[in-house]
């Protein structure tokens, strides 16, 4: 991981990739160059458009999706709303209890008699019935870091005749994923994929795609966007691009190098690195190892004491749903784990050799 870590300018004591990822050196350079060109009166729209397509292609590689099934977006809830609009009146959508609101709320507020039923994440494969039209879940839970039984859920949905929607936001970038396991996936790439905020992706498989209407169609949804700028927009793209929204150009300029970096990385090695650090931390504070390893570690912290201890020692972490939360990514190492353990009173101080410490 040293080579990949060297592509970042920081990371020491930053245990919050599950909140927001850090920009790589290449992302910073690309964003600065784009802003400098714009400030000089020479915004490069053509280059920004190429960045959008480079980002789409790289993301398709990361999640193992055909590029024709990838649409660009800006927020998770917007992508989910597209699918919520396709749920039949009165149908049931099954979700895990406590999943992220951007995944669940669009269904809960869709009206038309749509019923959202929530069960424990572990119970999802057993809770589907013939009334379940869609099961929507995050592959990795934001509040707890728990990794879902993706294969079990997908198999159960197939038996029940239900569609699947998987949120990859807390997974893509450290966990090997295959978007083709599901009828649709969504991902906001500003966390583990270290993109600027405002870069998201939707994948739609062949079974669900005919049920979706491009209710958010705009000029970028056209088969030739630059010929779709006026009136009804003309002919929509024949593939998932018909679900595109107008891209945030500057965000995608920064996103393209980040996504290409992760697409080229050895995800198996990255997974082992991140989950290995998390396992070391769990052992250090006396937590049992989960059934499915995760790069996110959470534990009860109702008073916020643990988070305050970490913060007091200069460690960036987060708190969610009454739990303290730390995350380990490519730019972290064992020294980050041990420094966090010491901050919580579980280990000796870690003295870093400045000559050997991060060059990142």
How far is residue 345 CA from its own chain's centroid? 32
Compute the distance between CA of residue 311 and CA of residue 148 in angstroms, rounded to an integer: 30
Same domain? For 17 and 160 the reply is: no
Same domain? For 251 and 237 the reply is: yes
Q: What is the pTM of this model?
A: 0.94
Domain that holds residue 302: 2-23+266-343
Amino acid 316: pLDDT:
98
- Of 248, 264, 280, the one marking the end of a domain is 264
Question: pLDDT by residue (tens digit) across 138-174?
Answer: 999 999 999 999 999 999 999 999 999 999 999 999 9
Same domain? For 216 and 329 the reply is: no
pLDDT at residue 352 greater than cutoff 90? no
Backbone angles phi, psi at 117, to 5 degrees: -115, 125
Amino acid 351: pLDDT:
62
Same domain? For 158 and 232 the reply is: yes
Same domain? For 305 and 239 the reply is: no
pLDDT at residue 216 greater than cutoff 90? yes
Amino acid 2: pLDDT:
83
Question: pLDDT by residue (tens digit) across 298-313?
Answer: 999 999 999 999 999 9
86-90, 227-231, 278-282, 306-310: which range is least confident on average?
227-231
For the chain, percent of residues with pLDDT exceeding 90: 94
Residue 293 within a domain: yes
- Of 244, 264, 284, the one marking the end of a domain is 264
Amino acid 350: pLDDT:
65
Amino acid 353: pLDDT:
57
Number of H helices, E strands in the chain: 11, 10
pLDDT at residue 260 greater than cutoff 60? yes
The two three-digit tokens of residue 338, written as one number: 């041990």
How far is residue 115 CA from its own chain's centroid? 26
The mean per-residue pLDDT over the stretch 257-268 comes to 98
Residue closest to 134 by CA, chosen among 153, 147, 152: 153
Residue 33 within a domain: no
Amino acid 341: pLDDT:
98
Compute the distance between CA of residue 11 and CA of residue 219 in angstroms, rounded to an integer: 39
Same domain? For 328 and 213 the reply is: no
171, 174, 177, 183: CA torsion to nearest 10: 20
The two three-digit tokens of residue 68, written as one number: 């024709």
Same domain? For 180 and 245 the reply is: yes
Question: DSSP for 165-202?
Answer: EEE-TTTTTTS---GGGSSEEEEETTSTT-PPTT-EEE
Same domain? For 175 and 318 the reply is: no
Tell me, what DSSP letter sits at residue 64? T
pLDDT at residue 10 greater than cutoff 50? yes
Domain tally for the chain?
2
- Describe the strand order of the beta sheet including 318-320 as a list of residue ranges: 296-300, 323-327, 318-320
pLDDT band at 234 (very low <50, low <70, confident <90, very high): confident
Amino acid 348: pLDDT:
66
Q: Which residues of 20-43 are buried (b: 16+ CB within 10 A; e: fewer)?
A: bbbbbebbeebbeebeeeeeeeee
Contact 88, 64 (CB under 8 A): no
Same domain? For 70 and 154 the reply is: yes
Same domain? For 305 and 197 the reply is: no
């Amino acid at each position: 991981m040293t080579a990949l870590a060297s592509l970042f300018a920081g990371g020491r004591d930053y245990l919050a990739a599950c909140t927001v990822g850090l920009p790589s050196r290449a992302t910073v350079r690309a964003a600065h160059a784009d802003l400098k060109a714009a400030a000089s009166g020479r915004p490069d729209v053509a280059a920004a458009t190429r960045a959008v397509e480079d980002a789409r292609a790289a993301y398709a590689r990361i999640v193992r999706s055909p590029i024709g099934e990838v649409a660009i977006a800006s927020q998770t809830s917007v992508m989910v709303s597209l699918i919520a609009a396709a749920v039949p009146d009165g149908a049931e959508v099954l979700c895990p209890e406590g999943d992220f609101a951007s995944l669940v709320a669009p269904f809960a507020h869709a009206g038309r008699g749509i019923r959202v039923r929530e069960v424990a994440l572990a119970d999802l494969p057993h809770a589907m019935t013939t009334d379940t039209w869609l099961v929507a879940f995050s592959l990795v839970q934001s509040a707890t870091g728990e990794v879902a039984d993706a294969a079990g859920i997908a198999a159960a949905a197939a038996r029940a005749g239900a569609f699947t929607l998987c949120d990859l936001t807390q997974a893509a970038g450290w966990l090997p994923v295959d978007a083709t396991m599901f009828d649709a996936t969504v991902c906001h790439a500003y966390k583990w994929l270290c993109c600027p905020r405002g870069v998201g992706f939707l994948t739609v498989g062949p079974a669900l795609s005919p049920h979706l209407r491009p209710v958010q169609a705009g000029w970028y949804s056209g088969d030739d966007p630059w010929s779709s700028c006026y009136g009804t927009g003309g002919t929509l793209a024949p593939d998932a691009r018909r679900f595109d929204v107008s891209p945030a150009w500057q965000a995608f300029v920064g996103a393209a190098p980040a996504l290409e970096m992760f697409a080229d990385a050895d995800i198996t090695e990255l997974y082992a690195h991140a989950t290995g650090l998390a396992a070391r931390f769990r052992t250090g504070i006396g937590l049992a190892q989960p059934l499915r390893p995760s790069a996110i570690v959470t534990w009860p912290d109702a008073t916020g004491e643990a988070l305050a201890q970490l913060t007091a020692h200069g460690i960036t972490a987060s708190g969610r749903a009454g739990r303290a939360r730390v995350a380990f990514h490519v730019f972290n190492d064992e020294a980050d784990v041990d420094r966090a353990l010491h901050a919580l009173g579980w280990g000796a101080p870690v003295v870093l050799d400045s000559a050997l410490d991060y060059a990142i």
